[in-house]
Each structure stands twice: as structure tokens, then as C-alpha cells.
Structure 1
């Protein structure tokens, strides 16, 4: 019987162009089971054609001493079809151009003492490379890292950087998953950014897309059955994870994940929309991926994290294999976002149907999911599973992200939908929850520029199809106005963040409030690794004030959130399993944070009455 490790090695196969100084050349490997002949064309001053040798399971391979770092090349199938390498690591001229060999052995890493942070220490900052700085490159981000560290961020999450058509895109239209976007700075630029993050003590999460491929520049079907008609997705035929020839497709994406973690020293992968990864086989692709990542951890002596985005509220994703799960580390909670968003904006159209009730907030603050086996009005069916046996750090929560902002017709951020005091209230809900908090770039100071959907396709029919698709997407919402043109460069430029807090007093006060909350998240023992079973959440009788109490470790924290537009009085709970009095340590209504101020006693006892200004958060710490 084969051991687990032997089994891994039996199905793993490196693909693409692998340069090796020891071998004094480059090994080319491509999966093309339909081909009768495969050649590599080296784009030298005098072109060199390298025939590949056919091996088992449709793979073709050869070593060429004429190919070294930077060599341009293409693949020729059956003497007639010339294409970039499906596993190309760099496309200097875009998705339709030639591929380039990348040397992953020569980069001068200076992060040798870096160790990945444990998941419960992650404070994530999601960003889009193209709109995070005016230059829109990896290297231009480096000078902004001290600002993020000062804010309290411990991990950045980068939206997808796999090569997409043109030079502006969210990244989910990528067609060459191994190639780092040329307009962002390519492989060298990404390595410089990761190295700089680690020097600042910041982990790096990379968003990867294994559920579909973009349309323009997608040449996979020329090589083999990467897609199957067994299932349909919103983007067309599904990727082939369980049909004939699926072993090589699974290997393709597993090798991709290992490349990011090994060659670019990425710390965590955020797996996009895993509910659209269709696999009815006995061993789900996600489980297999996690097992390979665990094997890489043993090989390189570093820890990695896999975070799923899912539309299913299914804890099977994060449950251990021995409990029938896939063993991933964490998943996003859309329910948390939807509950908070609907309560503060009043929006209840589209997928917000069934949200917006105050009692739902009390639930998601300790359970992460609202729908955990309940009937969903939006889905017209019972939905979700219980999080009872899962740890708090297995859920990532936010009040804004690229989807929830960018998939609005006008790309409005929360700062355009609610007032200043509500922004501070929402910040408290996210950061003081027991879950892993995530911010979306610019959120911390109330950025006013929108985050819109943008593309730069080259095919006019495709461009028009994208425009039409966006209009269709908004029909279930009562939004007014005209959707900006996704193809317009102006749409992209309008989405760049302004960093206006440096000249706007109000925005700077909001940023400082976020900074203080994040500092509290790191320094309070009750918040450093919350046990959600020791976190209680309840509403007062009028359902206007949320009482959130952290009792994981003493000194405990008592957080009060006034959800209403009016001043409210509430009474501290007499039934807490704690002793001592309570001291106010942070109040969003303080003038330091742009509030109108509120007089509070120096200490409070159990059953003390507290008066809270409208839309405010008050944090009390146990005095022993």
C-alpha cells in the first residue's frame, strides 16, 4: 500500500518552464493529450525549435540548454497552432504574446527570519494593486507599507495578479494562472513586495481563482480537456475537476498554488468562490489541495494558510478531514457583512432579502453565520450549517470588500451611504467581533472615491457583452443612475484611492479611531484570541443597544453599540460571570474621534445605567 507522501509524488507533475542553473538549461513540460506533436519555439535572434518527448498521461517534456532566464518562447501544437505556455510564469507582452522563462533561484530574499503569523493574529487589508497607488504597481506599494503597519494591519490581501488581458482588471478574468501580471511589475515586482511586507512584519494573502477562467486569451482548450460540460457556471463550462482526464487539471491548479507559496513566499491563499469548483469525486479537490500544501509545509519548514470564499455557509470547508471536512483554515462570512450592511443602510433588495433585523446582529457576532440551517427568503430554501464546533479565527468578517462595493452599480463605499458616526460604529462591530477582521482599502478613513468594475478587453463583442451583463446584474436592486462603462479608462482612474486623510481632519480622525481599535484588538488579552463560546451578545429590550461581552481572558471587555439614531439608556448586565467594576477605555463619541463628546463616570458597576449617544460604541474594561 502506498503511503500518503508516495501517493502525492505519484500524481504530482511540475509543468511549465523550469530553469535550473545546475542543469544549465530549462526543462519544458506541457500537458497536451490531444496533440500528436509538441515543440517549443525559442525566440532567439535565430529561432530554435525544440521537440518535446511524449510521456505518460499526455505530458510532453524536454530539456533545452539554449533556454535560460528571460528567454522568450511559444509552444507549437501539431505543426500549426502556436500558443503561449498554459503554465507560463511571465507574459511580457500580455495574454496573446510569447512566454518568458523565469529564474526563481536568483532573487535576493532578505526575509529569512520571517515566520507566518498564526491566523488569529491576522488583521487583513484587502487591496487592488492597480488602484492602491497612482502608479498601480507592486513596487509603488512598498512605500505605503509603513502606513499600513502604523494603522495596525498585520496582513495584506492582494486581489488576483494572474495575467489578464490589457492593463486594468479586477483580476478575476485571468487566463494564465501562473503568470504575474506584466503591468503590475511581473514576477520580480511581486517578490520585492512580498519581501518588503515580511520585513515590515506583514503577512501576504493572495487571491487565486480556481473556479473559472476569463474569456480573452484563454487557449486552454487547444491543449486538452481543461473544461467539462457536466456542469455550468455563471462563466460557462466548468473547469474539469472530476471528469475524464481531470487528474492533470487538478495537478495544474495544485502546482499553481504550490508555486505561489514556494517561489513567491506568499503566506496565505484566498480561494475565490469555491462553491463554483464542481467536484463529485471521492476526494474533493480542496481536500487534495490542502494535503499538498501541508506536504509543502513539511518540506520548507513554513506554515501556510488557505482561506475559502464560499456562498454556501458550509463548515465542511473548514472542518478537519476526520470529521468529513476538507481541512481548509478559514472562510469568509457573507452573512456578517449582509447583517451589518442592511442594519445601517436599510437596503434589503437582491441578496439582502431576509437580512436587516437587529436580532440577527446578536447572532452573527458570536456564530458568524446567520443562516446555519434556517430557511432563507432570498434562496427559497433551508440554508447553511452550524458553526458550533468551529473556532472564531476560522471566519473572516468585514463591512466592505471588493465584491460588496464594486458590485454596486455606482461602486459606492459605505462612506457614501451612512454618516460619520455610523462609520465608527461599523468599525467597532467588525474589529471587536471575535472573528478575523478584514478592511477594504481606504475604508479606514472613509475614502470617497468609488471602487467600480473595470476591464480593458481587446474584443469589441466581448466588451459589449460585459456592458450588457453588468446592466442585467443590477435589475434586482433599486439603484438609480447609469452604470459606468467598465471598458473606459476613466472608470478605472476614478477607482484609485486618494489617501485624502492626510489633508482632511475628519478622515484622519476616523483613521485614528480605526488605529485605536486595532491597537486594542492586539493588546487586550480578551481580544487576542477570542473563544466565541466565551463571547456573549444580546440586545436590550428595545433592540437598540447591542451588548457584546468578551470573557475569554481577564480583564474582560464589555462593548456597547447604540444602533439607533437617538440617544439610548441601557443597563449593564447583572448576570456576568466576572467580578470587579468597569472602566470606560474607548468611546466613539469622544472629541478625539470627531464626536460631540459624552460625559461618563470613571467607573461603572454591574447594573449601572449608561447613556449612549446616537450611533456610538463604548468599550469598558474590567477593573479587578
Structure 2
């Protein structure tokens, strides 16, 4: 197999090597547009790889590949599409960027606090550079990792990113390759790791020319978004190489610290060495080579512990997985919603099971799926689960894109935040959540194909039918849908929103500073359900440090009997304290406990107690 790097590699001295996998093609030429237009014949090697070294080129040179002497198409491994998905590719020299993060080694997994953001909607400008001024505030809040929604080249100027068709190219409207490098470098200066959301289960429809080059797709499977990627059929070695090389490019050329792998349950592979395991191995080898901490987190609703199990135990060796169960259990308790997949949730026990083990469904019958679902994960470590009260999917895949701030009260927002941040898992915040952003996050696109745009509109309506949210679905193609989805930062200056942001900051400080909370250890966790008081009690312990978290989901004030270790317990947090714009705490600063205590909890509140150890 050709061991040359895919795509265009600048060699210096106005020379560049171009390599592409195109087994379907009998003739292939490099069509250079700048600095002077010309055709350069390419040489075919084994397994359908074509390559050539061209002279008189420089970074920024634009080019096509001409197939069969007739049709010009962009490079499947293009690093830059300055004119969009239908335009020519451009040569990039990653070695020309002046990095300042030479000493950066990343952060351990236990310390990750995720902040998911969409580059286009995070600021009015919608660029990588516009994110940079906000990094000090995120670091001060307690964020240690930003998770960027996909930034690979997609059609037009507006998109969630899951319609990307050039996995190696950085979206031109966000600022292109160097814009992303500047953002990553600035994050590292603030001590913030950068995770990238990558899509290895499908490619978008518009501008997707890969099938004209090679056997990238298979008809053996279908995904909800179109043809599946060919990971296990004939010629799949080359397709797997394409995906793995893409991941390594982000690590080498952009200093990315980790990945969120989109919808891995839609990655279909019957080979003995699953592509996820092979990908994980390649990423971790690269991390070792670079001497950095690099993490791979999967998004999956399958509740399959094989994703995060060690390969020696038959797993794929990924570092973590999103817990949909945690979100769904919490959301249904707060909102009372039972439509769609929320019909599987709604009891305190559902959330308690997620708090104990990361998953709610570990083989039980799922009414929504009409079958048993999930599998126990007894060997999983708490740091392997990412949990949230909101994320782009759960907000944006509502018909109107309402955030939780539009669905529940301030008290419930604070209860949700404490449940997530003080859990034994890795918390994820969705941009703006920390101050109670009220702007929706709606689904937006800017396809140029009118038939595709119409199909997207109709598909969104069908998708929401099971939730009975009505037919009023915002038009994804309307620029106003995108504009409505941008953050309204001025809200942070208003009293309630400022108090909420201060509350989030305090939760994150408590998580760091109390050893029982900072230590993610399943052995030190005990979760109890008090149905009669509509409450969940979570005991955490690490060495001599003890903490007790009371989560009250009752609509009326409660007097909750607690069995606690004798001694003095300090009230570290009451979400209904006046400083958090609450009704006022019913507790003092300390509790003297013999063995039992009746705790006064306000409706929809969270209380954190810490044991004062005299030893």
C-alpha cells in the first residue's frame, strides 16, 4: 500500500506531493489553477493510489483533480476549500504556523469539564477568532475542555456541521485552517483542552464526490443519513486508512486533544478488528508518540460497554461514552415529558440507576424500543461517562429548539446543574447554559440544492411526529433560523442570569475542591431513592472526605430524614439560598449530627453537605 500522506503535502521550495485514492479512475490529472494553469499527469500505483510531485506551487495554490480527462473535482483529502464544497481545493502548509504550546501535554480524563459550542452560533461573528476573547471567562468558570461541533467543510455558510463532505478541510466561513490553529493555541494558553466532534458514520449529500473516486460507501447497510461508509467490504482497507489518517491529521496539524465520535452505533463493521478499535489504537499510539494525553469519547445510545472496555476484555478501547440515559432521566423528571424516547423514563429510580452505573437500561425492557435494551458495565470507571442536562442534540432536535431555560423554572435549572456537575461523571455544559441562555438552538442549513433543502424540511417534520410537538418546525434554510440560534451574551448582566452563572462557578469550584467529589471512584458512591420525599440522596467518600448530595424533585418543601455519620456537617451549597436568587435556605451553615437529622429542603432544590473530619 502507498505510504504517502493523502492529499496535498507542501514539500518546500515550491514543490508539493499530491496523493489520492481513486481505484475507479483510469486516467487522473492534477489540474493546477495557480500560479499558472496547467495539467500534470498523475501516476497510478498499487491498490488504486495515484501520486505526483508538482513544482512551481506554493501554499494557497488552487487545484482540481481531473477524472478521465473530462471532469474536475475537489481533492477527497483537501485541507482547504476556500470557495466551498463545489470549488477547487487549496494547498496548505501546516508547518508555517507559529505554535506557542510546546509544553502543553493535555489534561487527565478525570479533570475534564466539557463546554460544547457551535462556532457559528457562539458569537455574532461566527468565527474561530471570535471565540478566543471568551476563553478566559470559560477558564475562570471552571471549564477545562471545549468540544467543538464539527468544523469540517460543509455546504454553504450555515450548518450544524453534520453535513460535512470534506473531513480533512476546515470550514472556510469559520476562518479556515489557520483560524482553527489560532483557537487551539489560545485554548492551550488558557489551560483548556480542545475536543473535536468528528463524523465517521456518513458524509453529507451536497458536494459529496468521494464515490466517483473510489469505493468509500457500501450498499450493504444504510444509516439514517444515507449510505454507510465501507468499513468491512472489498477495498475497505483503504477507506479505513482514510478515516484513521483524518484523525491523525487533527492531532498532528491542529494539536487537537481529543475526539467526540458522532453516533458510533451507525458505524457498521463486521470485521474481526472493528474500525473503532483500530481507530482507538492509532490515536493512542500517536498520543504516546507525542507525549500528550489524548482522549476518544463515543456518542452512542446503545448502552454497550464494549465501546469502553479494554481490547483484552473484548472491547474497543475507547476512553469514554456519552450517557443519553442520564440526560433523558433528568429531563423527564424536570419537564414531565413522556413523548418519544422519554416514555422510557420519568421515575426517580431511572435517574438513580444512571447515577449509580452511568446507564439506566442495562438489559431491561424499553417501552420505546419495544425490546430489552443495554447491558451492564460493571468494569466501567465513572470517568468513562459524559453526562449533561443539555446538549446540541437534545436542544436542537426539538421542533422549536427550546433550551431547558424555556421549559423549567430557575429552581429546576439549578437542580439540574447540581445533578450533572456534582455527579461522579464528566459533566458537559452546552454553550450559554451557565447563565440560562434563552435563545433557542434550532437546526439550520444553507444547501444550494432546492430539492435537498425541501427534503430536509420534510424530514424534520417526520422526525418530530413521535413527540407530538406540532407542525410548526422552523425552516432550516431560512437565515433567520440561524440568527435566532446565536447566543445573547447581554443576558449575563441581568440579575437572575448573573446569579445563575455565579452558581455554576461555585458548583465547579466545589467539584474541584472537595476530595469526595473530585475523586471519581465507583466504590465511594452510594445512591438512595426516597420516593416519599421525591428525593435522591447521593453519598460520596474518598479517604477521610465525605459528602452528601440531596436532590429534591418535589414540588413542595420537604423535611427529609437523613442517616449521617456523627459529627459536624457543613452546608456547602443550598441551591435555594438567596445568593442564588432562591426562596431562601431552611438550613444554617452547619449541622450537628448524632446519627439522624431532618433536613429542610425547598421544592426543586439541591443541597450539598460536607463532613468535618476531626481526625
Q: Tell me the TM-score normalized by structure 2.
A: 0.98
* Separation in structure 1 between the aligned mates of residue 34 and residue 15 of structure 2, nearest angstrom: 14
Q: Where in structure 1 do 4 or more consecutive aligned residues deviate above 6 Å?
A: none
Using the TM superposition, give the Cα deviation of residue 580 of structure 1 relative to its aligned residue in structure 2, in angstroms. Answer: 3.2
* Separation in structure 2 between the aligned mates of residue 322 and residue 244 of structure 1, nearest angstrom: 28
Match of 1:618 in 2: 607
* Separation in structure 2 between the aligned mates of residue 543 and residue 331 of structure 1, nearest angstrom: 32
- Confirm or deny: 8 A CA contact 2:2 2:45 kept in the other structure: no
Aligned residues: 611
Match of 2:250 in 1: 260
Using the TM superposition, give the Cα deviation of residue 361 of structure 1 relative to its aligned residue in structure 2, in angstroms. Answer: 1.4
- Confirm or deny: 8 A CA contact 2:15 2:54 kept in the other structure: yes
Using the TM superposition, give the Cα deviation of residue 481 of structure 1 relative to its aligned residue in structure 2, in angstroms. Answer: 5.5
**Matching of residue 603 in structure 1 with residue 591 in structure 2:** yes
Using the TM superposition, give the Cα deviation of residue 579 of structure 1 relative to its aligned residue in structure 2, in angstroms. Answer: 5.6
**Matching of residue 590 in structure 1 with residue 577 in structure 2:** yes
From 63, 77, 88, give the equivalent of 2:67. Answer: 77
SS of the residue corresponding to residue 136 of structure 2 reads helix
Using the TM superposition, give the Cα deviation of residue 541 of structure 1 relative to its aligned residue in structure 2, in angstroms. Answer: 4.7
Using the TM superposition, give the Cα deviation of residue 39 of structure 1 relative to its aligned residue in structure 2, in angstroms. Answer: 0.9
From 359, 374, 379, give the equivalent of 1:369. Answer: 359
SS of the residue corresponding to residue 419 of structure 2 reads helix
* Separation in structure 1 between the aligned mates of residue 531 and residue 14 of structure 2, nearest angstrom: 75
Using the TM superposition, give the Cα deviation of residue 106 of structure 1 relative to its aligned residue in structure 2, in angstroms. Answer: 1.1
Using the TM superposition, give the Cα deviation of residue 221 of structure 1 relative to its aligned residue in structure 2, in angstroms. Answer: 1.0
**Matching of residue 356 in structure 1 with residue 341 in structure 2:** no
Using the TM superposition, give the Cα deviation of residue 503 of structure 1 relative to its aligned residue in structure 2, in angstroms. Answer: 2.3
- Confirm or deny: 8 A CA contact 1:545 1:568 kept in the other structure: no
**Matching of residue 33 in structure 1 with residue 23 in structure 2:** yes
Match of 1:247 in 2: 237
Q: How does 1:149-298 map to 2 (within 5 A)?
A: 149-298=139-288
Unaligned runs of 5+ in 2: none
Using the TM superposition, give the Cα deviation of residue 603 of structure 1 relative to its aligned residue in structure 2, in angstroms. Answer: 2.0
Could you give the per-residue CA deviations for residues 327-355 of structure 1, whole angstroms, max 9, x where no partner exists?
00000000000000000000011111110
- Confirm or deny: 8 A CA contact 1:90 1:180 kept in the other structure: yes
SS of the residue corresponding to residue 362 of structure 2 reads coil
**Matching of residue 502 in structure 1 with residue 492 in structure 2:** yes
Match of 2:304 in 1: 314
- Confirm or deny: 8 A CA contact 1:240 1:249 kept in the other structure: yes
* Separation in structure 2 between the aligned mates of residue 338 and residue 118 of structure 1, nearest angstrom: 27
Could you give the per-residue CA deviations for residues 45-81 of structure 1, whole angstroms, max 9, x where no partner exists?
5312111111111100111122221110100111012
> Do the aligned partners of residues 99 and 277 (structure 1) sit closer, same or farther apart at CA in structure 2, a change above 3 Å counting?
same
- Confirm or deny: 8 A CA contact 2:586 2:600 kept in the other structure: no
Q: How does 1:294-443 map to 2 (within 5 A)?
A: 294-443=284-433
**Matching of residue 20 in structure 1 with residue 11 in structure 2:** yes
Q: Which moved more, 1:298-307 or 1:124-133?
A: 298-307
* Separation in structure 2 between the aligned mates of residue 523 and residue 19 of structure 1, nearest angstrom: 48
Q: How does 1:454-533 map to 2 (within 5 A)?
A: 454-480=444-470, 482-533=472-523
* Separation in structure 2 between the aligned mates of residue 24 and residue 553 of structure 1, nearest angstrom: 62
Using the TM superposition, give the Cα deviation of residue 610 of structure 1 relative to its aligned residue in structure 2, in angstroms. Answer: 0.7
Q: How does 1:565-576 map to 2 (within 5 A)?
A: 565-574=555-564
Using the TM superposition, give the Cα deviation of residue 434 of structure 1 relative to its aligned residue in structure 2, in angstroms. Answer: 0.2
**Matching of residue 55 in structure 1 with residue 45 in structure 2:** yes
SS of the residue corresponding to residue 212 of structure 1 reads coil
- Confirm or deny: 8 A CA contact 2:80 2:176 kept in the other structure: yes
Match of 1:138 in 2: 128
SS of the residue corresponding to residue 361 of structure 2 reads coil
- Confirm or deny: 8 A CA contact 1:11 1:251 kept in the other structure: no
Using the TM superposition, give the Cα deviation of residue 604 of structure 1 relative to its aligned residue in structure 2, in angstroms. Answer: 3.2
Q: How does 1:46-125 map to 2 (within 5 A)?
A: 46-125=36-115
* Separation in structure 1 between the aligned mates of residue 447 and residue 533 of structure 2, nearest angstrom: 49
- Confirm or deny: 8 A CA contact 1:89 1:100 kept in the other structure: yes
Q: How does 1:552-563 map to 2 (within 5 A)?
A: 552-563=542-553
* Separation in structure 2 between the aligned mates of residue 490 and residue 554 of structure 1, nearest angstrom: 55
Using the TM superposition, give the Cα deviation of residue 500 of structure 1 relative to its aligned residue in structure 2, in angstroms. Answer: 3.0
- Confirm or deny: 8 A CA contact 1:535 1:552 kept in the other structure: no
> Do the aligned partners of residues 11 and 597 (structure 1) sit closer, same or farther apart at CA in structure 2, a change above 3 Å counting?
farther
SS of the residue corresponding to residue 219 of structure 2 reads strand
Match of 1:6 in 2: none
Match of 2:568 in 1: 581
* Separation in structure 2 between the aligned mates of residue 284 and residue 506 of structure 1, nearest angstrom: 49
Using the TM superposition, give the Cα deviation of residue 478 of structure 1 relative to its aligned residue in structure 2, in angstroms. Answer: 2.2
* Separation in structure 1 between the aligned mates of residue 446 and residue 230 of structure 2, nearest angstrom: 27
* Separation in structure 2 between the aligned mates of residue 13 and residue 355 of structure 1, nearest angstrom: 51
Unaligned runs of 5+ in 1: 1-9
Using the TM superposition, give the Cα deviation of residue 86 of structure 1 relative to its aligned residue in structure 2, in angstroms. Answer: 0.5
- Confirm or deny: 8 A CA contact 1:157 1:205 kept in the other structure: yes
